[in-house]
Structures are given as structure tokens and as C-alpha cells.
């Protein structure tokens, strides 16, 4: 059963709810980075609302590598009471559209390789895994710049949108 949600850009008044969702969604080590990223002025945070309450968020960033502009869905989380109801899919779809409308050449996502739920949602929204060799073909030596821009961790996989 999909929940009826609206997606909008986050406002400062959403921060306490985002912090709650982060605390419920990520292991302790990643909470710091997710909180820092959501509070950062870099990029955008989209929130999903259901019946006037924030139930999830996606952090989007844009960056340049070799003069080309790219986008990335950096963080994605949904309050545990609202999971498996289409909230994450709505956020990924809106985030991807937002980044493409802002002239991103390609849209990427970075997710922990054991996060089966996020991998599934991203896959359903047209994202596919991309390996180091394909990234090397795209970026050459600048692949390391790309990894730095998306805050890549060795426990993650990179996906790209079709």
C-alpha cells in the first residue's frame, strides 16, 4: 500500500525531524556524516510529507568533474513507520528529476552494499550498479575526484541512472 506523499525542499524547521529519522535509520558511525550533510548548505535536501508530517528525506549534491556537472543522491532515509509504502521511491524519483533539470550530465547514487532496501528502491527507479572500470572510462584519473565528491566509502557501491 503506497502512502500519499508530497515531496518538497526542506526548510530549517524540518531539521529536528530529519535528525530523528537519521537516528532511527543509520548506524552510529554514519549518523554524524548524515547529520553534517543535512545541515550543510551544499546541495539540497528534499523531504517527503504525509498528512503534514515529514516521513523521509533525500540529500542531493551537485559537483563538477573535468568541467562536466553531475548529481548524486547522497543520503536517503525514511522513518521506520513509513517504510515499504513508496516514500523512498517518490524521493528518488523527485531527486533524480531535480538533478537532471539542473543540467546534470548524469545522476549517481552511493549506497552501502548491504543496504538491500535502498538498492532495491534505486533499482526500481532506473539506477544500475557501475563498477570501477566503467567509472574509469568515464572519468579517467579524475575518478578519485569523483569518489571524493560523493563521499565514497569502501563499504559502498556506486549506481548510475539510466
Report whether pLDDT(3) > 90.
no
Cα 66 to Cα 31: distance, rounded to the nearest angstrom: 31
Structural domain spans, the chain: 6-161
Q: Each residue of 23-46: pLDDT tens digit?
A: 999 998 889 999 999 988 889 999
| Class (C level, CATH) for 6-161 | alpha beta
CA quadruple 114, 37, 76, 64: dihedral, nearest 10: -90
Cell of 46: 528534499
The predicted model scores a pTM of: 0.93
- Which residues does 5 contact at the CB level (< 8 Å), separation at least 6? 48, 49, 50, 55, 56, 86, 87, 90
76-124 tens-digit pLDDT: 999 999 999 999 999 999 999 999 999 999 999 999 999 999 999 999 9
Query: Contact, 108 vs 161, CB < 8 A?
Result: yes
Amino acid at each position: 500500500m503506497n502512502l500519499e506523499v508530497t515531496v518538497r525542499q526542506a526548510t530549517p524547521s524540518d531539521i529536528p525531524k530529519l535528525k530523528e529519522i537519521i537516528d532511527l535509520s543509520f548506524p552510529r558511525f554514519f549518523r554524524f556524516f548524515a547529520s553534517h550533510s543535512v545541515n550543510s548548505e551544499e546541495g539540497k535536501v528534499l523531504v517527503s510529507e504525509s498528512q503534514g508530517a515529514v516521513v523521509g528525506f533525500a540529500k542531493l549534491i551537485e559537483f563538477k568533474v573535468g568541467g562536466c556537472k553531475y548529481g548524486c543522491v547522497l543520503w536517503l532515509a525514511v522513518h521506520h513507520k513509513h517504510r515499504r509504502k513508496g516514500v523512498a521511491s517518490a524521493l528518488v524519483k523527485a531527486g533524480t528529476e531535480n538533478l537532471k533539470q539542473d543540467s546534470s550530465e548524469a545522476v549517481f547514487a552511493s549506497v552501502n552494499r548491504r543496504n538491500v532496501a535502498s538498492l532495491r528502491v534505486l533499482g526500481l527507479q532506473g539506477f544500475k550498479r557501475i563498477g570501477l572500470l566503467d567509472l574509469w572510462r568515464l572519468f579517467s584519473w579524475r575518478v578519485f575526484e569523483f569518489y571524493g565528491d560523493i563521499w565514497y566509502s569502501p563499504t559502498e557501491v556506486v549506481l548510475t541512472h539510466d
